[in-house]
Amino acid sequence: MPTPLPQDLSTTQRRDAILEQLQRQGVVRVRDLAKHFAVSTVTVRADLAAMEEEGLLRREHGGAVRTLPGRSLLTSLSGMEERAGLNSPQKRAIAAAAARHVRPRDIILIDAGTTAVEMVPFLSEVEDITIVTNALNVAAAVGAHLRCRLILLGGTYSRTSSSTLGPQALLALSEFNISRLFLGTQAFDAASGLTDTTTEIAQMKRAMIEASREVFLLADASKWEKAGFIKVAPLGKVHHVISDRALPASAIRAIKEAGPRCEIV
């Protein structure tokens, strides 16, 4: 398959290319990126803003600078670790609560969210489970903490999300009958439901939801009523929302009215 031209890249591919250039050069400029990818400066600024929110870079006037050294797979995973450090006590509490829903012989799907990966150490006492994931940080954590069957979905590797995406990943996922899905999100609210940063990530999350009999959304209160760019699914597609005590009472009411059970830890 021929390599896509810069102007033909998807949002995820473009952001991966920006990250690669940033890791190579240390700095990128908005106007240079807009010219290279044949997109508007508004689009580039939106890319940089989303990538800054994920801890991948730091925006400066007219461009952005690197925050993570190197350009290897381990570097990408270390970026996930930095993001996981945000609100980490809340994330660990949410993850521990989520792990209590896993039963022996379950086939569970864990996505690339920084809260979901925190579940892994809490699963050590659950017997005979299979973990399916598209996230390299989850796979690494399972290898370090568990002795269970691990299935890593193939696909196109995304540096920005440290996960596999695209048609191959979607096809691989379609073969599984998942007991329970543990899903993260960039943002969620009553009106838009779950939202995220790119079409490719949203497509993968939708496919995960459709493949699963029971869906758990793991989201700390900081994600509530933030606006993601791409709609993933309405809240009614989720069976359980697990969040922390900072989630407002009005949010809990809105979540329950939309259909999911709401568990506060």
In a domain, 13, yes or no: yes
Phi, psi of 109 (to 5 degrees): -115, 125
Q: Which of 14, 37, 71 is the last residue of a domain?
A: 71
Residue 205 Cα distances to 5, 41, 111, 128, 163, angstroms: 27, 28, 8, 25, 12
Same domain, 53 and 161: no
Strands 240-243 and 261-264 turn out to be: parallel
Same domain, 143 and 250: yes
Please tell me the distance from the alpha carbon of residue 129 to that of residue 105, in angstroms, as a whole number.
5
What global pTM score does this model have?
0.74
Of the chain, the end-to-end C-alpha distance in Å amounts to: 48
Q: Which of 71, 96, 121 is the last residue of a domain?
A: 71
Decide: 224 and 93 in contact? Cβ < 8 Å.
no
Decide: 192 and 120 in contact? Cβ < 8 Å.
no
Phi, psi of 22 (to 5 degrees): -65, -40
Q: Which residues constitute the domain of residue 190?
A: 81-264
- In the chain, the number of structural domains is 2
Same domain, 119 and 137: yes
Same domain, 164 and 218: yes
Decide: 163 and 139 in contact? Cβ < 8 Å.
no
In a domain, 76, yes or no: no
Same domain, 86 and 61: no
Same domain, 91 and 65: no
Same domain, 30 and 161: no
Residue 65's domain is classified under what CATH number?
1.10.10.10
Q: What is the pLDDT along the chain (265 residues), one digit of tens a residue?
A: 455 667 778 898 899 899 888 878 888 999 999 999 999 999 999 999 888 877 788 898 899 988 755 444 444 554 455 555 555 889 999 999 999 999 999 999 999 988 999 999 999 999 999 999 999 999 999 998 998 999 999 999 998 888 999 999 999 999 999 999 999 999 999 999 999 988 999 999 999 999 999 999 999 999 998 878 899 999 999 999 999 999 999 999 999 999 999 999 9
The pLDDT value given to residue 86: 54
**3-class DSSP string for 146-201:** CCCEEEECCCEEECCCCEEECHHHHHHHCCCCEEEEEECCCEEECCCEEEECCHHH
Exposed / middle / buried, residue 2 (Cβ in 10 Å: 0-12, 13-18, 19+):
exposed
Same domain, 121 and 49: no
In a domain, 239, yes or no: yes
